[in-house]
Every structure is written in C-alpha cells, then in structure tokens.
C-alpha cells in the first residue's frame, strides 16, 4: 500500500470540510507535500515515535500522519467527516483517486530492476508540451535547450488548437508564425536537436476535431484530446472511436481527461477504442501530469493486449515540469509492462517522422 498517497487523500478530505480557509489551504498544502515526498513516509518515522520534519507539513497534519502510521487510519478525520454532513461527497471524491502514483512510487518504479519496460536511456523525446504560444510558460528555445540538457533528440510542441479558447488556443495565423520560428530554431540547432511542429486538437462531443483536414495536414504530430463531457456517465465509445479513426491524428491524448479527486473523465468501452486505435496506427498516450496520469498502468495493460502503440509524454507547461512529469509517465509504462519498441518516444527521429507521415496519408500500420 502507498501510505504517502493514502495520507495525502485523507488530508485532502480533511481540507474539504474545513470552515476556515487558512486551515483548508494548510491541509491541502500538506497533502501536496505528501504526494511530492520522495521517500515512503514510514522511513521518516524515528525510533522515539516522532516524525522527521517535512517541509510544508505542520503540527496538526503531523498528528494525523502519526495516527495513520500507528493505526492504519485517522480517527480524527473519520469523526470530523462523519459529523460534517459531507460524507457522501467525500466518498465520491475518494473514488476519483484510483491508480494515481505518488512521487515515492514513481521513483520506486524507475529504480525497480524487476520491471523490464521503458528506461530513461531509451527515451528519445517528449511529444506533448505547451509553449507561450498557448497556455505554457516556456518558449520554443526553452523547450529545445531543456530537451538537449535531458539528452533528448527531439520534442514536439503541441499547443492547444483554436477551438479551445479557454486554454488560449492558437489561431492558424499564429501557428504559421510559430512554424517559422521552429524552422529558424531547427536550422540553428541542426544535427543537435529537432523541434517537431505539433498541435493538441480538441475532440468535440461528437468525436470530430476542431480543425479541418487541410489544417491537420500542416502539422507533423497531432495529439487529439477530449476537453469536454468529462463528468457525464454516458457512454462515449463512439466519440473516441471516431477520433482515433480520423485521418491525420497521431496520438490520443490523455484519453479519459480525468482529474485527481475531481472528475472521472470519459466513460467508454476502452478495449473497443484501443482496438480501433491499433487498427488505425494511432498511439495511446500515457500523460504524466500528476493530476492526470492518464492512461494509468492498469488501463495501459488493456491497450497492450489490444495491440496499441504508445506515446509517453509530460504534457508539461513549463521547463521545470518536463522531467518530473515524464518520470510519472515512464513509471506507469514500466508498471504496465509496455514493450519499449511499441513506444513511439523510443523511436529514432527518421522512423518517427515516417510513421507520422503515414498516419497523415492513411497508410500507417
């Protein structure tokens, strides 16, 4: 059991029922600190029964942590939730935290030599990230220089398409400007690094994309992702099958669109979706954003059985997120046992581009 994750969830639940905003933010901060902790919390318990000091975790949260370490649960939180009148909502949120890895679990998966999947050394480049052209804080040069520092051969910048204005979706005119900048940078960094021209297109409710076929044809890597209808229980298999069978789509991005403790994401018959993606040669993404982790290691096993290709990506919006978020995605891939040869991020650039061109013309896989 991941006690770091369990304690973080309890602290989030406790935060939700606080009447004081100060206390609410204090417990949320402590929950985030638990998820980011690089060691199992058990290892910080001292011989005298006290806990080593952890940044951003105060005395009240420490008492709760010790309760869990000593009893397996927190009577303090259980009693508070029972008397809050919010028990049903707390339980609902609890059901939206399944198969999320804490930082300690991620690092354990990366170190575990019994797992024979993807390694950092095999990873050649990140195929979903965002720049200042949409809702990211990193420039194109930042993305290239950080990629070189990480030992990558390529990255794809996949800013949001114009159909998602809430994420500052980029217009086709502005995308043309971005492509000109990419051309200049690729010329500057020739033989050292390649920045691919990508987009994160929005999957509409009916499964169509918010870009035309001619517009998609201008893009080297198209990530198609759902950003709506993420809280309904209605089956959306047809929506997702239509998306992965759309010519020009390369990657099904964060397929469910779930969010930690907040929303379940798309409901679908995922084996049917994965089988359609495999037949079309579309890669299924393992998105490493800590709040997404989508798809997770369990669902990835179904995609493996369905014959899918995979994209293992950070979905980073800043340079500081690039490595940490990719670590999460790699950990899920390792825990699922995804064969590295089926992970497009492991392919040499020439093979990746040949596959991408084949998807654009309908001849891939």
Mean pLDDT of 93-102: 94
Query: Residue 155: which residues within 8 A CB-CB, separation 6 or more?
Result: 125, 126, 127, 129, 143, 144, 147, 193, 195, 196
**295 in Cβ contact with 255 (< 8 Å):** yes
DSSP code per residue over 71-105:
HSS-HHHHHHHHTTT-HHHHHHHHTT-TTPPPHHH
* Residue 208 to residue 221: CA distance in whole angstroms: 17
pLDDT for 125 beyond 50: yes
Give the pLDDT band of residue 362 (cuts 50, 70, 90).
low
Domains of the chain by residue range:
3-94, 117-361
Q: Which positions ≥6 away from 62 have C-beta within 8 Å?
A: 51, 54
pLDDT at 1 over 80: no
pTM over 0.85: yes
Q: Which fold has domain 3-94?
A: DNA polymerase; domain 1 (1.10.150)
Stretch 332-360: mean pLDDT, rounded?
A: 95
pLDDT in tens, 145-196: 999 999 999 999 999 999 988 889 999 999 999 999 999 999 999 999 999 9
Residue range 303-336, pLDDT digits in tens: 999 999 999 999 999 999 999 999 999 999 999 9
- pLDDT tens for each residue of 212-225: 999 999 999 999 99
Mean pLDDT in residue range 344-360: 93
pLDDT in tens, 257-311: 999 999 999 999 999 999 999 999 999 999 999 999 999 999 999 999 999 999 9
117-361 has which fold? Answer: TIM Barrel (3.20.20)
Tokens of 146: 């950080």
User: Which tens digit of pLDDT belongs to each residue from 44-80?
Assistant: 999 999 999 999 999 999 999 999 999 999 999 999 9
Q: Would you place residue 361 in the very low, low, confident or very high pLDDT band (cuts 50, 70, 90)? A: low
> 253: which DSSP letter?
-
Residue that wins the pLDDT comparison between 362 and 6: 6
Tokens at residue 69, please?
């370490």
Res. 365: pLDDT tops 70: no
Report the distance separating Cα 241 and Cα 224, nearest Å.
12
Backbone torsions φ then ψ of 77, nearest 5 degrees: -75, -40
């Amino acid at each position: 059991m991941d006690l770091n994750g369990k304690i973080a969830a309890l602290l989030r639940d406790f935060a939700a029922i606080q009447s004081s905003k100060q206390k609410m933010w204090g417990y949320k901060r402590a929950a985030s600190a638990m998820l980011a902790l690089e060691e199992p919390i058990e290892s910080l318990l001292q011989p005298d029964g006290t806990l080593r000091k952890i940044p951003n975790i105060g005395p009240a949260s420490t008492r709760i942590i010790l309760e869990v370490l000593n009893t397996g649960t927190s009577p303090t939180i259980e009693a508070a939730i029972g008397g809050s009148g919010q028990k049903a909502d707390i339980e609902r949120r609890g059901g939206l935290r399944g198969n999320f890895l804490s930082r300690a679990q991620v690092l354990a998966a990366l170190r575990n030599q019994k797992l024979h999947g993807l390694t950092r050394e095999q990873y050649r480049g990140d195929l979903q990230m965002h720049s200042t052209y949409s809702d990211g804080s990193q420039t194109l040069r930042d993305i290239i220089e950080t990629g070189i520092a990480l030992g990558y051969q390529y990255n794809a910048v996949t800013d949001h398409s114009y159909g998602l204005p809430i994420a500052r979706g980029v217009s086709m005119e502005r995308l043309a400007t971005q492509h000109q900048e990419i051309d200049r940078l690729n010329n500057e960094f020739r033989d050292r690094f390649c920045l691919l021209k990508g987009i994160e297109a929005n999957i509409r409710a009916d499964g169509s994309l918010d870009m035309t076929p001619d517009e998609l044809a201008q893009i080297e890597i198209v990530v198609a992702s759902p950003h709506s209808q993420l809280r309904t229980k209605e089956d959306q298999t047809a929506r997702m099958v239509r998306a992965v069978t759309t010519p020009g789509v390369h990657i099904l991005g964060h397929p469910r669109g779930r969010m930690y403790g907040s929303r379940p994401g798309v409901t679908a018959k995922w084996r049917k979706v994965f089988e359609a993606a495999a037949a079309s040669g579309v890669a299924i993404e393992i998105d490493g954003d800590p709040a997404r982790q989508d798809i997770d290691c369990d669902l990835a096993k179904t995609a493996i059985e369905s014959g899918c290709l995979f994209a293992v990506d950070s979905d980073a919006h800043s340079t500081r997120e690039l490595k940490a978020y990719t670590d999460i995605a790699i950990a899920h891939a390792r825990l699922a046992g995804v064969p590295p040869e089926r992970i497009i991020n492991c392919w040499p650039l020439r093979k990746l581009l040949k596959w991408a061109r084949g998807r654009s013309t309908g001849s891939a896989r």
